[in-house]
Amino acid sequence: MDSTTVLVLNGPNLNLLGERQPEVYGSDTLADVEELCRAACEVAGLTLDFRQSNHEGTLVDWVQEGRRGIAGIVINAAGYTHTSVALHDALAAVTVPRVEVHISDIHAREEFRRHSYLTAVTDEQIIGRGVQGYAEAISWVAEQGSTS
């Protein structure tokens, strides 16, 4: 990875996009999201490193891997958003722009989904914009690079 790379991390169950609760998350698959991100990176002159894991420790490892020297991190931690102090702590050590993304509006859902451990350690949050939120996050990361 280098200073033009955007690391897009996806947490548990996002591999089931398009089939899991389409009334909440829509019909786009994770492959569709990856293509959307790739197109957004191309427009911004960035490269994409797109990953998904159902394992918290793997996500922590990836955050640590991207903590410096890249354009930024976009993370949809999915269920770990509401439970993971470990991801919070990993993101706190990051020196590149960090964007928290959620497809649905977590603030309008069940009570347990309304708290994010990541918000305090991310620079931007894009919530409830559907999968388009990923493209918005990549654009935001690109803007940070152009203003630094």
Query: What residues does each domain of the chain span?
Result: 5-147
* Residue 115 marked ligand-binding: no
* Residue 70 marked ligand-binding: no
pLDDT at 1: 81
pLDDT at 112: 62
80, 88, 102, 117: the active-site residue:
102
pLDDT at 142: 97
pLDDT per residue over 82-95, tens digit each?
A: 999 999 999 999 99
Which spans in the chain are helix H? Answer: 22-25, 30-44, 56-65, 85-92, 132-147
Instruction: Report residue 26's pLDDT band, with 50, 70 and 90 as the boundaries.
Output: low
Higher pLDDT, 58 or 148: 58
25, 80, 117, 134: the active-site residue:
25
Task: Kindly state the DSSP code that residue 84 receives in the 8-state scheme.
Answer: -
pLDDT at 23: 72
pLDDT at 28: 93
% of the chain surpassing 90 pLDDT? 80
* Residue 103 marked ligand-binding: yes
pLDDT at 146: 67
pTM over 0.75, yes/no: yes
pLDDT at 125: 97
- Angle formed by the axes of helices 56-65 and 85-92, nearest 10°: 0
Find the mean pLDDT for residues 41-57: 98
In the residue annotation, 88 being an active-site residue is answered as no
Find the mean pLDDT for residues 101-114: 78
Buried-state track 58-69, b at ≥16 Cβ within 10 A, e below 16? ebbebbebbbee
Instruction: Report residue 133's pLDDT band, with 50, 70 and 90 as the boundaries.
Output: very high
* Residue 28 marked ligand-binding: no
Q: Which CATH class is domain 5-147?
A: alpha beta
* Residue 104 marked ligand-binding: yes
* Residue 76 marked ligand-binding: yes
From residue 92, alpha-carbon distances to 39, 95, 104, 120 in Å are 29, 8, 24, 9
